[in-house]
Amino acid sequence: MFTNDNPNQLIYENKILHISVLGGIRLEGLDRLRVTLKIHNPETPLIAVRHNLDLYNDTQVEKLIRKTAVKLEIGHSVIEACINELIEELEKYRLEQLENQHTEKEIKPLTEDERKESLELLESENLLERTNELIGQSGMIGEEVNRLIMFLIFCSRKRNQPLHVVSLGSSGTGKTHLQESIGNLIPEEEKIEITTLSENAFYYFGQQELKNKLILIEDLDGVLQALYPLRELQSKKKISKTIAFKNTKGETKSVHITVEGPVCVAGCTTQESIYEDNANRSFLLYLDETPEQDEKIMAYQRKLSAGKIDTISKQNAIRILQNSQRLLENIKVVNPYAEYLQLPKEILKPRRTNAHYLQFIEVVTYYSQYQRERKVDEETGEEYIETTIEDIRNTNELLKEVLIRKSDLLTGNSRNQLEKFKNSLENLGQTFTNLQLRYALKVTKTTAQRYLNQWQEIGLIKKMQNKETQTYYYQLIDENEYKNLEMSINEILENALLQISNRNTETDRNITTPVSDETNAEKEKEEPKQRNIKKDKTTEKTE
């Protein structure tokens, strides 16, 4: 008889042997079954064998059987049969536990009132603006652009091509808070939150357990060993692995494990360069580290401590945003203007960035599906909705900063520090030293020198030496280079929109241009002539 009432002490017993599995068994790693056993005869409980081994290792099992047979004075074949029965029971128990873990969370059914208030949001004309307001009411302070981008990316999890996001910023700037706050707006059954993860952990999820799920990673440092399978899930939308194990007969068998996506992945880090491969597959959101954002957060903290935050409105906002996502369907999106959209030449990795840009436009359209006419492809019979110019305009407004960062040779943190330091140059003059930079940015000497080296390497500053004092000082070459980059990208995005608008206007003009009276009169004069010509030809054929 096998008893599993206590997962930390599984018991197998019959009339001859009593076997306790101390500490239970690990559910991960199907290629091994490591246990700590206590074996004794029910009639002589004080005489027991305690042994730690892998029950899939034939040599270790044989050694245990011989040791138990000698100490308990029981036949070798009897003990072997009991051990084999124990292995079978443990395998069944482990599979049952894994199936229970992989059981889908129950999808919450919506009441009529909940459905009505969710549809009211999804059908509102200013949908994105209204959504951003609700995100603010849910407790996310500031970061108006970043929070809406992240929410829309999280909504893309239901699509065949989900997007991914990495939050970047200095320690203590609220990266995790932003991700947690937006993650709270996602239905519980559609997300998986991870703090740390082993190298092979992804392979032991159920085959479709991760499909169309949002994976929230608190800190990418905690899943460093699992980044490769994570990237494969992002790119190929599935991962697979073949493992070998020994069965109870000592035979080596192979098992092929496959875990399917697609998944939407979100993570936080302070180290942009270390996670470049993951960052290339994701949207990069740089946190607002301005004093104005600090004041917003501290003001909210003071109100919360004073009990002046309306918690009922907060919960209502969370409920509406969660329920509205439950009404979204994975419908196909067609962008009829895609061929007219051009990215700036300054973009450093144009191919992947172009794909992300077009996919984000589709996500904005997808989120607005209750405001779009549903059309049917005559060839395939598939339903679809079309992108509007307004969707493109909203995307450009949201992704403007993202595209500028994609065009910048500096990392996000280095750019933030340079722009912050530019504000101090008015008091310092045209030149500055390492010491002045350290005081302005409040950083250490080595950190300041690292920034100087980066800025000098790409030609933003030049290094000079004072021959009299033998000291080095620096000069900013072009104070407006970043503003010029912003203007250039904005101009390209606006020109693309203008081109699309002009094309639509021209098309509408061709469709609605009235036919003049003179043209009608000429057609009426020509019609009798055409009839006479046809009549003459008919007469000739008859003759």
* CATH code (residue 288): 3.40.50.300
Per residue in 285-337, pLDDT (tens digit) is: 888 877 888 888 888 888 888 888 888 888 999 999 999 999 999 999 999 99
Domain final position from 302, 329, 356 = 329
Mean pLDDT taken over the chain: 82
CA dist 50 and 273 (Å) reads 50
Q: Are residues 123 and 82 in the same domain?
A: no
Q: Residue 14 falls within a domain, yes or no? A: yes
Q: Are residues 82 and 128 in the same domain?
A: no
CA distances from residue 331 to 111, 131, 213, 374 in whole angstroms, order as listed: 23, 20, 17, 9
Supply φ then ψ for residue 348, to 5 degrees. Answer: -75, -35
Q: Residue 464 falls within a domain, yes or no? A: yes
Say how many C-beta atoms besides its own lie within 10 A of residue 420's C-beta.
13
Q: Are residues 144 and 96 in the same domain?
A: no
Kind of pairing between the strands at 191-194 and 213-217: parallel
Q: Are residues 75 and 14 in the same domain?
A: yes
CA dist 319 and 476 (Å) reads 51
CA dist 326 and 406 (Å) reads 33
Q: Are residues 215 and 291 in the same domain?
A: yes
Q: Residue 372 falls within a domain, yes or no? A: yes
Residue 250 falls in which region: left (phi positive, over 0), alpha (psi -120 to 50) or beta: left
CA dist 124 and 131 (Å) reads 10
Residues 6+ apart with CB under 8 A from 56: 31, 32, 33, 245, 246, 247
Q: Residue 97 falls within a domain, yes or no? A: yes
Q: Are residues 163 and 299 in the same domain?
A: yes
Closest of 405, 145, 150 to residue 288, by C-alpha: 145
Task: State the average pLDDT over residues 209-226.
Answer: 83
Residue 514's identity, in one-letter code, is P
Q: Residue 541 falls within a domain, yes or no? A: no
Task: Tell me if 123 sits within 8 A of 113, measured CB to CB.
Answer: no
3-state SS, residue 31: coil
Per residue in 265-275, pLDDT (tens digit) is: 998 887 766 55
Q: Are residues 241 and 366 in the same domain?
A: no
Q: Residue 17 falls within a domain, yes or no? A: yes
Q: What is the pLDDT of residue 541?
A: 43
Per residue in 386-441, pLDDT (tens digit) is: 999 999 999 999 988 888 887 778 887 788 888 888 877 776 677 888 888 888 88
Residue 469's identity, in one-letter code, is T
Q: Are residues 384 and 266 in the same domain?
A: no
Domain final position from 431, 463, 481 = 481
Q: Are residues 206 and 75 in the same domain?
A: no
Domain final position from 101, 123, 157 = 101
CA dist 453 and 433 (Å) reads 13
- How many domains in the chain? 4
Q: Are residues 155 and 207 in the same domain?
A: yes
The DSSP code sequence of 319-345 is: HHHHHHHHT----EEE-TTGGG----T
Q: Are residues 20 and 33 in the same domain?
A: yes
Q: Are residues 288 and 193 in the same domain?
A: yes
Q: Residue 64 falls within a domain, yes or no? A: yes
CA dist 348 and 97 (Å) reads 48
Q: Residue 497 falls within a domain, yes or no? A: no
Extract the tokens encoding 502.
């002009």
- Containing domain of residue 347, as a range? 331-388
Per residue in 449-502, pLDDT (tens digit) is: 988 998 988 888 888 887 777 788 888 888 888 888 888 888 888 888 888 888
Extract the tokens encoding 87.
């292995």
